[in-house]
Structure 1
Amino acid sequence: MMERMREGASSIWVKIILGLIIFSFVFAGVGSYLAGGSQQAAAKIDDREISQREFEQAYQNERNRMQSQLGDYFATLMGDPAYVQQFRRSVLDRMVNDVLIEQRANELGMRISDEQIRKAIVSMTEFQRDGKFDNELYNTLLRRSGFTPDMFAESMRTDMLRQQLLVAIQGSDFALSNELTALTKLEKQQRVIRDLTLNVAEFTKNADVSEDEIQAFYDQNPQMFTRPDQVKAAYIELSGEGLKTTLEVSEEDAKAYFDENQQKYGTAEQRQVSHILIQGDSSDAKAKAEELLAQLNAGADFAELAQSSSDDTFSAKDGGKLDWFERGVMDPAFEDAAFVLNKGETSTVVQTSFGYHIIKLDDVKESQVKPFAEVRGEITAELREQRAAEAFYDLQTKLAETAFEMPDSLDDAAAAVNAEVQLTDFFSQNDAPGVLATPAVMQAVFSPEVREDGLNSDVIEIGPEHVVVVRVEDARDEMVLPFDEVAGSVKQQLAAQQGEQNAQVKADEIVAALREGKTEILDAEGLSFSEAQTIGRSGADRMVAQVAFGLAKPVDGKSVYGMTRDMEGNMLIIALDDVIEADVEPVSADSQLATQVEQMNAQQDVMATLKVLRNTAEVSYPTLDTPAN
């Protein structure tokens, strides 16, 4: 119980399920459930479908997220087709769970109001600048992601509806004081134990393995003694990292670069405007915008008209005022209109992808350039980076040309780029050394041109400014190793198996005798328990603690016996002599432990709810096995 509580309290499942789901699919799948179409379904939930396109979009989004977190390690995992299949299934399962939760929330009559959505959007840090909601940043991010404000708001409504149900499940759990006190007593309970070890190595040393057994095992398991296809390789590795420290940048070069690129080292001109937006691209929308412009030209107050008539409800509350922006942030047509206005001027009607705007220029911040002395270091580093890249690609080109022109050796190519040819011992595709283990390099090494024809490979990019050219110096085909060559290792393997089996049998025999009170077996075997020791539930040896705290409490002073293995694989017999109960004060229902118990119960409730929903729905995965990389 205590182990489950610890695991539940820190479970990533709890953190994911009970955390905000809102941004799970933002910008790469948010609103995917709104999309329709006749394409084949990746999953079906009753009458609801998740299309293959929706699934692939969510899969790619999750893959990109994992890649950014785990880097090369995740790339290695994705090289395993079985892991890819498991990963795809987990993404689709999550999407199915989302649909089930949404359906259940709708059945219960749960609703999300427009005001709740507005408050949630305004509070998102992704849409804030300097700690405040930025309407233009909001619109820009949505536009770049292919969403309209209405689409995004509807996807938010769906996500918040799921969250509402999950929070309701979480909030329904509680822990009683007497329950928490009992758990605390269990947590602080101690146990008095003794142990004795049966050394598996001794049983292995005494194992009797015949030549016939060795031969039979060899004959029955040829795959265990098959040497895979192997090669010896020579390769040249070229990296641009070291070039950066060898290149110098003069003061004159840095100053010239500064003069040519001053826009990079200062603040661009910024403008603050107010606008009135009429959404849509119809003639009626344009006519309404022109009517409002006529009212402004006749003397109407811009802020009052924005408050009463603008479809941009966020900025309308502030008279249409937007935050400061520079070129490259807003819709191009909006920017072009805003940047030709003089302070206080109002534009004509401007059409963008959002609708029709009327723009008033409120203020201007002129561009400013930092002094050269302040950015000298930055420029020097940038020029060194640029020149190192240029030098690297020059060497890469020379390496590629020479390796191609002299395909029977890497010596000329190495001399051309002032590098060394590195040699390997024999290796297979599963144990390639260093950079050669990269999938692209492995594919080249075992290609017919390189492995069989003995040619140099093309230049293979294994990272930014990091390339390899490889050739096969020697190769040997897959073969079953001769019996004489492996007989010794087979004997050791069989002896180890027999030793473990014999140790297990002896341990079972001893434990059975001890449980019957026949302690004389210890003298007969020349064994004895260690001195008694008192351990806690989180003792130094987790396996020992797990067995000791799983044994029944001794009755009438009679020890209770259990068995496990130690870290070396030896058999470990444990005698539980006594249980020491802890004397604890009553635990409050407002304590940290109460929170942990409630979280554990919430996790179980969520999982149970999903299980029921899945059992009562018709869920199928028509295209789950479709390959994707």
Structure 2
Amino acid sequence: MFEFVRKHTKIMMILMFLLIIPSFAIVGVDGFRDIGGGGAAVAQVGSHSFTQADWDAAHKVDVDRLRASMPNVDPKLLDSDEARYVSLERLVRERVMSDAANEARLHTTDARLAFELQRNPTIASLRTPDGKFDKTRYEQLAASQGLTTDGFENRVRNDLTLRQVESGVAATAFSPSALVDVSMKAFFERREVQITRFNVSDYASKVALSDTDIEAFYQANAPMFQAPESANVEYAVLDLDAVKKSITLNEQDVKTYYEQNVARLSGKEERRASHILITAGKDMPVAEREKARERASDLLLQVRKSPGSFPEVAKKNSQDSGSASRGGDLDFFGHGAMVKPFEEAVFSMKKGDISDLVESDFGFHIIQLTDIKVPKQRTFEELRANIESDLKGQQAQRKFAEAAEIFTNGVYEQSDSLQPVADRLKLEVKNANLQRQTVSPDNTVLSNAKLLEAVFSADSIEKKRNTEAIEIAPNQIVSARITRYTPARTRPLDEVRDAVRNRLIATRSAELAKKDGSEKLATWKSAAPGNMPAAIVVSRDQVQSVQGTILKAVLRLDPVALPTWVGVDLGQQGYAVVRVNKVLPRVPAAVDAADQERKQYAQWLALAESDAYYSALKHRFKVQFKVSRPSRNALSPQVAVE
């Protein structure tokens, strides 16, 4: 719908992720309060100031979180000024919401906390196959975030409390059907247009350049043709994989682990069942639910009298459309795949049994157990590799902190080489060539902004010492040392003459295209030519391969008098002259699409209400940003409306 979103999907996805997913669920608002130390304030909420250190810490959390969930994300986007500023805005927003929650005396009860924890998928995954809660894994989950279980629960409680501040306002957003329909009709309104393009490539042959032109362009735009500063470096990375490689296991420990876990490692028991479902939702009136129970009871008597008829009875009577056509067959499944009452019944039955009525939120089930698949116990040698990997992983988690301390001290104490600490920890010292703006999607280590900043610091360049140990991800630290430095330099004209010529031709071709297009626009608005391209119909949801800049200009045009004209400067791509002939109503949306639009509109309206409320809170709590919002690099399209 929105051209910027369509054109910059990755950027928008990242920025929206930073804004929508509150990081206090991971590190907590309080986690940022005591990071700062000294330094000038970059933002202020009332009497509370945020320093550059607070901002850096907040952005590091955002980057780590995004890299964990989106491993292939372009590091350049994460380290952009825009992304960093979003982290600052989020940090301020969380403080404002925290102050608002305290002012309103909002609180999350123990019951609400327990309910939210139970419905959390990560917490739910900590249950064992028999349904018991694994406290050890829960403690490990909390410890992975540097917390005790009490601390983790306090974080979640705080998160829920802050959400109450905005949820009460967002929930008041009201979007009646008439308002949605009017808004969507306007949003998806169509335009019939004729587009004449003045492409840069059509003007290149008309550009004549002299050596003086090339020399002048080179002198005026020397930074375009500069070779960036670079450095050959050696670097070493300490992570869990590296610690694993240094671990030697005791053979008896491996065998003991096998004996204690062979059942789990061999696989889970699976069962195959068929069922007949008579639906009866939990909100169904009592009388109707009793009728459903009676019908299910009659069918139960029928299949118990003739067990072989179960598939046929299921086909004719089951209200589970997904399995009825297969005679009720649900295929094999293990623990955790079905709702609890259904699962408990199935795993308590013998092969061939038909259950009593089983009641769930879906209604009443009649279950026939048709098969049991018990996994074959695997031998020690079959499982050895998996067991050794598990044990090394567990030990690596415990030993990483100790190894990290050795690494951190080692790169500092013997700062002229990484080899001593690498030898001690059995790490590989690697070599690479880096530029200050290195972007390497395949190597997030070398693309890390903090590492590049440290490598290209004045001290590192001059003394060629190891950088400090830099954490680039959870359980991953790195240090690097320059072995050879090459400063930035302006390439001689003879070296870049072809590049200068091509750039100048492109620039002048674009100027010619714009001049020609502008002149045609002035002429055609009085007398349109007879050979204009065929008309097409465009809208926000039917772009017809039209460039976003053109589409935006067409849709922004006020169609008071038609036909009307608009000229669009496409920069290095040329120019376009567009005649807008008609304004057409939107194509009526299908029922499903219309329902989705209403939901989307309600979400937009709720977001607008939340933003308006937050704006009021910023004024109440005296929010000040001490640094300016970065400007976008891309220039806005130049549009001439006639």
TM range (shorter): 0.5 to 0.7
Structure 2 CA distance for partners of 1:501 and 1:25, relative to 1, 3 Å: same
2:202 corresponding residue in structure 1: 202
Q: Deviations over 1:165-224 (max 9, x none)?
A: 322211211223222233443455443222212122233321344443333333334333
2:92 corresponding residue in structure 1: 93
Structure 2 CA distance for partners of 1:511 and 1:97, relative to 1, 3 Å: farther
Alpha carbons 1:177, 1:587 under 8 Å: kept: no
| Partner SS state of residue 265, structure 1 | helix
Please report how far the alpha carbon of residue 379 of structure 1 lies from its aligned counterpart in structure 2 after TM superposition: 0.9
Alpha carbons 1:31, 1:155 under 8 Å: kept: no
2:585 corresponding residue in structure 1: 581
Letter in 2 for 1:99: S
User: Is 1:212 paired with 2:217?
Assistant: no
Alpha carbons 2:192, 2:537 under 8 Å: kept: yes
Letter in 2 for 1:547: A
Structure 2 CA distance for partners of 1:158 and 1:88, relative to 1, 3 Å: closer
Counterpart-to-counterpart distance in 1, 2:115 and 2:178: 40
Letter in 2 for 1:379: R
1:598 corresponding residue in structure 2: 602
1:265 corresponding residue in structure 2: 261
Counterpart-to-counterpart distance in 2, 1:443 and 1:153: 36
2:329 corresponding residue in structure 1: none
Q: Which residue of the other structure, out of 490, 501, 507, is the alignment partner of 2:500?
A: 490
Structure 2 CA distance for partners of 1:621 and 1:264, relative to 1, 3 Å: farther
Q: TM-score, normalised by structure 1?
A: 0.54
Counterpart-to-counterpart distance in 2, 1:36 and 1:452: 30
Structure 2 CA distance for partners of 1:468 and 1:552, relative to 1, 3 Å: closer
Structure 2 CA distance for partners of 1:471 and 1:125, relative to 1, 3 Å: closer
Q: Which residue of the other structure, out of 499, 511, 517, is the alignment partner of 2:521?
A: 511
1:316 corresponding residue in structure 2: none
Please report how far the alpha carbon of residue 583 of structure 1 lies from its aligned counterpart in structure 2 after TM superposition: 7.2
2:274 corresponding residue in structure 1: none
Alpha carbons 1:234, 1:470 under 8 Å: kept: yes
1:563 corresponding residue in structure 2: 567
Please report how far the alpha carbon of residue 54 of structure 1 lies from its aligned counterpart in structure 2 after TM superposition: 7.7
Please report how far the alpha carbon of residue 530 of structure 1 lies from its aligned counterpart in structure 2 after TM superposition: 1.0
| Partner SS state of residue 102, structure 1 | helix
Alpha carbons 2:35, 2:57 under 8 Å: kept: no
Counterpart-to-counterpart distance in 2, 1:63 and 1:376: 41
Counterpart-to-counterpart distance in 2, 1:84 and 1:536: 31
Letter in 2 for 1:265: N
Structure 2 CA distance for partners of 1:118 and 1:487, relative to 1, 3 Å: closer
1:311 corresponding residue in structure 2: none
Counterpart-to-counterpart distance in 2, 1:215 and 1:83: 36
Letter in 1 for 2:177: S
Counterpart-to-counterpart distance in 2, 1:162 and 1:102: 6
Structure 2 CA distance for partners of 1:446 and 1:60, relative to 1, 3 Å: closer
Alpha carbons 1:59, 1:91 under 8 Å: kept: no
Correspondence list, 1:330-479, <5 A = 373-380=378-385, 479=489
Counterpart-to-counterpart distance in 2, 1:142 and 1:385: 17
Letter in 2 for 1:373: R
Structure 2 CA distance for partners of 1:552 and 1:587, relative to 1, 3 Å: farther
Structure 2 CA distance for partners of 1:597 and 1:101, relative to 1, 3 Å: farther
User: Is 1:130 paired with 2:127?
Assistant: yes
1:499 corresponding residue in structure 2: 509
Q: Which runs of 5+ in 1 are unaligned?
A: 236-240, 242-252, 269-369, 388-420, 455-460, 625-629
Structure 2 CA distance for partners of 1:553 and 1:587, relative to 1, 3 Å: farther
Correspondence list, 1:508-547, <5 A = 508-515=518-525, 517-519=526-528, 522=529, 528-538=531-541, 539-542=543-546, 543=548, 544-547=550-553
Counterpart-to-counterpart distance in 2, 1:152 and 1:429: 38
| Partner SS state of residue 579, structure 2 | strand
Alpha carbons 2:194, 2:536 under 8 Å: kept: yes
| Partner SS state of residue 173, structure 1 | coil
Counterpart-to-counterpart distance in 2, 1:566 and 1:592: 34
Structure 2 CA distance for partners of 1:156 and 1:490, relative to 1, 3 Å: closer
Counterpart-to-counterpart distance in 2, 1:384 and 1:111: 44
| Partner SS state of residue 537, structure 2 | strand
Counterpart-to-counterpart distance in 1, 2:70 and 2:590: 44
Counterpart-to-counterpart distance in 2, 1:571 and 1:91: 39
Q: Deviations over 1:49-73 (max 9, x none)?
A: 6799987775554443223123475
Alpha carbons 1:180, 1:589 under 8 Å: kept: no
Q: TM-score, normalised by structure 2?
A: 0.53
1:178 corresponding residue in structure 2: 178
Counterpart-to-counterpart distance in 1, 2:606 and 2:220: 52
Counterpart-to-counterpart distance in 2, 1:223 and 1:5: 31
Alpha carbons 1:554, 1:579 under 8 Å: kept: no
2:295 corresponding residue in structure 1: none
Q: Deviations over 1:278-331 (max 9, x none)?
A: xxxxxxxxxxxxxxxxxxxxxxxxxxxxxxxxxxxxxxxxxxxxxxxxxxxxxx
Counterpart-to-counterpart distance in 1, 2:509 and 2:69: 44
Please report how far the alpha carbon of residue 99 of structure 1 lies from its aligned counterpart in structure 2 after TM superposition: 2.6
Alpha carbons 1:566, 1:572 under 8 Å: kept: yes
2:557 corresponding residue in structure 1: 551
Alpha carbons 1:42, 1:622 under 8 Å: kept: yes
Q: Deviations over 1:17-39 (max 9, x none)?
A: 788x6xx4346336659989998
Q: Which runs of 5+ in 2 are unaligned?
A: 236-240, 242-248, 265-374, 393-429, 465-470, 629-642
Structure 2 CA distance for partners of 1:382 and 1:620, relative to 1, 3 Å: same
2:67 corresponding residue in structure 1: 67
| Partner SS state of residue 174, structure 1 | coil
| Partner SS state of residue 181, structure 1 | helix
Structure 2 CA distance for partners of 1:154 and 1:255, relative to 1, 3 Å: closer
Identity in percent? 16
The alignment of Structure 1 onto Structure 2 pairs a total of residues equal to 470
Q: Which moved more, 1:88-97 or 1:25-34?
A: 25-34
| Partner SS state of residue 549, structure 1 | helix
Alpha carbons 2:15, 2:86 under 8 Å: kept: no
